[in-house]
Chain A
Amino acid sequence: DAGVIQSPRHEVTEMGQEVTLRCKPISGHDYLFWYRQTMMRGLELLIYFNNNVPIDDSGMPEDRFSAKMPNASFSTLKIQPSEPRDSAVYFCASSATFASRQETQYFGPGTRLLVL
């Protein structure tokens, strides 16, 4: 399996521009997570999906952030408009159906976003 795939790996944009981050979870995984990591705040959970349905988006910082999962193999995290404080590494992770209480999350390589 190729693991969780994220694109782009790096993104540099200007303040006010729209940014779209993409994620392909591991095939067969029912849960998908979006995280953001910064030096100041560490690793924060933004939103997670179960069977393509958003379950908890309380970590989404504000209305400028939105996430979708149109099918089991694809998710996007969109920031519109972007601001310099959105600069961070954004990780996508997936996990299998919670069955044995030992499910782990598999993280992608992350997208390093810099908003100028």
Chain B
Amino acid sequence: DAKTTQPTSMDCAEGRAANLPCNHSTISGNEYVYWYRQIHSQGPQYIIHGLKNNETNEMASLIITEDRKSSTLILPHATLRDTAVYYCIARDLGYGNKLVFGAGTILRVKS
């Protein structure tokens, strides 16, 4: 699986959009980009995934650059409950479908 690089932490004002970047410059053609988040003392929660095209669901939007070397997770209207560690993972659908988590980005939403 390709290595991903994320900023250690970010702050966002409540009600504003939170834009979380992720670099995956060595991503291969069959690797998807996944985003999960972990709120303190809970298990990680799936947010969204994508391969080439931008994706949107009820939680967030995922913007993937044309060369697929980076992506941005967008939380359109961040709330205090969005404060969490956000993980970007590049992974193919190989044997075991393993998810390997890095350090992630600590997002602090402030009022």
Task: Indicate, yes or no, whether A interacts with B.
Answer: no
